[in-house]
Amino acid sequence: MTLRVAVTGASGRMGQAVARAVSAEPEMELACLVARAGSGLVGSSAASIVGDENCPITVSNVLDLDAVDVVIDFTLPESSLVNARACAEAGVPVVIGTTGFSEAEQADLESTLASVARCQAANFSTGVNLAYRLLSLAAEVMGADSDIEIHEAHHKHKIDAPSGTALAMGHAVADAMGQSLSDVAHYDRSVNREERAPGSIGFSVTRAGEIVGEHTVLFAAEGERLEITHKAGSRDAFANGAVRAAKFIANKPAGAYTMSDVLGLS
Ligand code: NAD
């Protein structure tokens, strides 16, 4: 059965990558492509965005869910919450890639979507989600004997830091060592002049150019270092993962599914 997919954020970098990935997927049909009200794209053909001159879709400013099986949303928290309400009312599953929700917004999102299947992830790439598992293993085996540092690099437009993915990696490491990340994370070394605290997890950040997303976790033990690195080469890595998640949740009962569930790592 062909899945009818609605994609939001038509003028955004991720929205466009997802629209292309959906169009290229034989088991999916791009049923609705939504831009924010006032966007110059509203009313224009989606053909050039998806790179298919036969695409019959016109960019809309309304998330019309009448003939939609699943929604993929990469926008901003405020807009994702509006889209979530529409999905809940229509009973349509949703994949949420938007990051940067405040605690209150995240709680609102979760209660709004309680009645539908949803998959939310700070990073939809297959490699990163596999890396979480590898990091747990590394932390279990050598974490207690290592200095652990997490470095991430992103493009100059990104405003939150460290990235949600770096924090998720920190949680994977801390959880595996029976720690709470908030107790061991060290974000700023410019204030106190002191040696590295044993057992801490240090974070550092680069913002430059158009780097799509790079993360390295370093385990520095006596006489050896292990580095687990993931580099995203293009946004297609996230878009393809989101498409995979959409296929997975489309016919699932209501519930919060993770990328571990989608990839069979749970
Ligand atoms: P972007 O700035 O290029 O695009 C954001 C889009 O949201 C734009 O199309 C904008 O028009 C739309 N938008 C904003 N407010 C809106 C509103 N009120 N109504 C409707 N549309 C609205 O950003 P991007 O690089 O495409 O990233 C989008 C989001 O996805 C960010 O939160 C980013 O951190 C996140 N992201 C997640 C992953 C992941 O794997 N989970 C990967 C990359 C980016």
Q: What is the largest CA-CA distance in the chain?
A: 62
Tell me which residue of 35, 30, 31, 29 sits closest to 60, measured CA to CA: 35
Q: What percent of the chain has pLDDT over 70?
A: 100
Mean pLDDT, all residues of the chain: 96
pLDDT for the residue 151: 98
Residue 194 alpha carbon to ligand 1 centre in Å? 39
Residue with CA closest to ligand 1 atom 35: 98
Residue with CA closest to ligand 1 atom 22: 36
- Within 6 A (CB) of ligand 1 lie 9, 11-15, 36, 39, 74-76, 78-79, 97-100, 121-124, 238
Alpha helices in 26-76 (DSSP H): 47-50
Whole-prediction pTM value?
0.89
Residue with CA closest to ligand 1 atom 34: 99
Give me 240's structure tokens. 């393809």
- What is the per-residue pLDDT across 118-161, written as a single tens digit (0 to 9) for each? 999 989 999 999 999 999 999 999 999 999 999 999 999 998 89
Give me 67's structure tokens. 């003939």
Residue 14 alpha carbon to ligand 1 centre in Å? 6
CA distances from 38 to 9, 35, 60 (A): 13, 8, 10
Q: Residue 1 above 90 pLDDT?
A: no
pLDDT for the residue 160: 84
Sorted by sequence, the CB contacts under 8 Å of residue 181 that are 6+ apart come out as 167, 170, 171, 174, 175, 201
Question: For ligand 1, what atom is nearest to the CA of residue 99?
Answer: 32
Question: For ligand 1, what atom is nearest to the CA of residue 75?
Answer: 7
* Cis previous bond, 253, omega within 30: no
Tell me which residue of 223, 1, 231, 39 sits closest to 123, measured CA to CA: 231
**Ligand 1 mutation pick, 20, 44, 75, max ligand atoms within 8 A of CB:** 75
Secondary structure class of 6 (helix, strand, coil): strand
Return the active site residues. Answer: 154, 158
Sorted by sequence, the CB contacts under 8 Å of residue 93 that are 6+ apart come out as 69, 70, 71, 87, 116, 117, 118, 246, 249, 250, 252
Q: Residue 72 above 90 pLDDT?
A: yes
Question: For ligand 1, what atom is nearest to the CA of residue 96?
Answer: 41
Contact criterion met (CB below 8 Å) for 201 and 184:
yes
- What is the per-residue pLDDT across 85-122, written as a single tens digit (0 to 9) for each? 999 999 999 999 998 899 999 999 999 999 999 999 98
Secondary structure class of 154 (helix, strand, coil): strand
Strands 70-73 and 3-8: parallel
Q: Residue 176 above 90 pLDDT?
A: yes
Whole-number Å distance between alpha carbons of 93 and 43: 26
Contact criterion met (CB below 8 Å) for 181 and 171:
yes
Sign for the pseudo-dihedral over CA of 131, 135, 137, 138: positive
